[in-house]
Copies of this chain bind each other. A is one copy, B any other.
Amino acid sequence: MKKTTVDFKTLVLPMPAVLLGVIVEDKINFMTASWCGVAGQAPPSVSIAVRKGRHSMKGIEEHGTFSINIASTSLAKEVDYCGIYSGNLEDKSKLFETFNGVLKTAPLISLCPVNMECRVLHTLDMGSHWLVVGEIVETHVSEACLTNGQPDPDKIDPIVWVPVARCYRKLGPVIGKGYSIGKK
């Protein structure tokens, strides 16, 4: 297979499109991020890369807490809005109805089917970005998105972010079961 090198090096596919929630100077703010992944199981943890100078970093530094909210595709416009406009200039505090979990400084979006409240464990200097690594203190799921007590991906209907093409997509057809189709 003939190969070529590309300038766009950070080509992980697919990515999520999460809403990072913080409180900056007593005001709730949300920022869209796709550079987010799980960092460990015990303790449960996530990492999220935040560009230096971003308004949301102030909240992370101020409280040492943040939330990760998984939006459904029906919220794609709001997700895109939160990725375009900075909380420095736009008041995003009234955009969503929120609730609190264990932490009181990690605003959780009621309309998002999945909400993780996180406490900062590490902040790595990655040059252009801070890689914020947090313990997931609690994960909340909308009851309407459960099937037999388990989170149901088709009910959650998460946004799939595709870099380069810069498109939001839906989950596609199932092609196989994990820990199964590759058995000898």
Which A residues form the contact surface with B (CB < 8 A)? 1-6, 8-16, 18, 34-47, 49, 51, 68, 70, 73, 76-85, 99, 101, 110-111, 113-116, 121-122, 124, 126-129, 131, 133, 136, 138-144, 146, 150-153, 156, 158-162, 164-184
Contacts and interface: CB of A to CB of B under 8 A. Distances in A.
A116 B129 CA distance: 19
Contacts of A146: 4
B49 A1 contact: no
Contact of A168 (B39, B121, B151, B178): B178
Count of chain copies: 2
Contacts of A43: 126-127
A70 B116 contact: no
Nearest to A124: B122
B176 A99 contact: no
19 contacts: A1-B143, A3-B115, A3-B143, A5-B139, A6-B150, A10-B136, A14-B16, A43-B127, A45-B126, A76-B182, A80-B179, A80-B182, A80-B183, A82-B182, A83-B179, A121-B126, A160-B171, A170-B172, A170-B173
A130 B101 CA distance: 28
Given A2-B143, A37-B49, A121-B126, 7 more contacts: A3-B115, A8-B139, A9-B136, A12-B46, A13-B16, A14-B153, A167-B176
